[in-house]
């Protein structure tokens, strides 16, 4: 999970202002350009509460790909559930008699059992299997915003860095901050929810 801190938001703003003043580098000109007014509007949006209070999440998921290459052609299937992908692999390799012979009396093999039996059958050189069946995964990253909470609250976050520096800051979420001493990104060790109106505790 990645949360945009105030320092990082400030860096984005600084970059936008430099872009506004100096223009786009040549390598980015072909991808389209924002006008100076558009950049003003974007900076205003970043400075606004809605942008500042919504953390950005990096969600990583594994996508499993099962590929079989036989004399009947190549097929592939995608899964986001590891167990489902493994069960599909087990069912596929167990259609081969040589694999069932390797498994013997094991009628409920695990993925590891089935994979080992498949490799023994294929690489023994006596089964005559020339097909390939592979199960592998790729880790994908999705960037998304957390749901916006419309309640008028803020958080007083308390930070403690390894260098000994301690500080607190009020923000629209329980976000990370940079140590003012060593610039290390630090998670809050405690947070108090407070209301914007009157600053009374909401706990």
Give tens-digit pLDDT for 124-160. Answer: 877 788 889 999 998 887 666 555 555 556 788 899 9
Class of residue 71 by CB neighbours under 10 A (exposed 0-12, middle 13-18, buried 19+): exposed
Q: Which two tokens stand for residue 77?
A: 């299937």
Question: Do both 80 and 103 map to the same domain?
Answer: yes
Arithmetic mean of pLDDT over the chain: 80
Whole-structure pTM value: 0.46
Is 201 part of a structural domain of the chain?
Answer: no
Q: What is the pLDDT of residues 83-103, one digit of tens each?
A: 999 999 999 999 999 999 999
Question: Do both 190 and 118 map to the same domain?
Answer: no
The pLDDT of residue 171 is: 80
| Cα 97 versus chain centre, distance | 41
pLDDT exceeds cutoff 90 at 55: no
Is 79 part of a structural domain of the chain?
Answer: yes
Domain that residue 125 falls in? 61-141
pLDDT exceeds cutoff 50 at 112: yes
C-alpha distance across the termini of the chain, in Å? 26
Q: How many domains does the chain have?
A: 2
Question: CB–CB of 134/63 below 8 Å?
Answer: no
pLDDT exceeds cutoff 90 at 66: yes
């Amino acid at each position: 999970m990645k949360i945009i801190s105030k320092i990082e938001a400030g860096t984005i703003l600084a970059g936008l202002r430099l872009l506004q003043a100096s223009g786009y580098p040549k390598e980015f000109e072909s991808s389209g350009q924002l006008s100076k007014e558009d950049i003003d509007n974007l900076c205003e949006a970043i400075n606004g509460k809605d942008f500042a209070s919504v953390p950005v999440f990096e969600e990583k998921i594994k996508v499993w790909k099962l590929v079989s290459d036989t004399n009947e052609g190549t097929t592939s299937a995608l899964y986001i559930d590891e167990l489902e992908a493994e069960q599909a692999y087990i069912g596929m390799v167990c259609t081969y008699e040589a694999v069932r012979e390797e498994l013997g009396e094991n009628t409920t093999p695990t993925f590891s059992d089935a994979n080992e039996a498949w490799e023994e059958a294929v690489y023994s050189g006596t089964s005559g299997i020339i097909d390939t069946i592979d199960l592998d995964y790729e880790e994908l990253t999705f960037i998304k915003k957390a749901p916006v909470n419309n309640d008028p609250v803020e958080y007083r976050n308390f930070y403690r860095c390894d260098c000994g520096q301690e500080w607190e800051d009020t923000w629209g979420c329980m976000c990370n901050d940079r140590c003012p001493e060593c610039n290390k990104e630090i998670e809050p060790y405690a947070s108090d929810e407070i209301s914007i109106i009157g600053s009374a505790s909401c706990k």
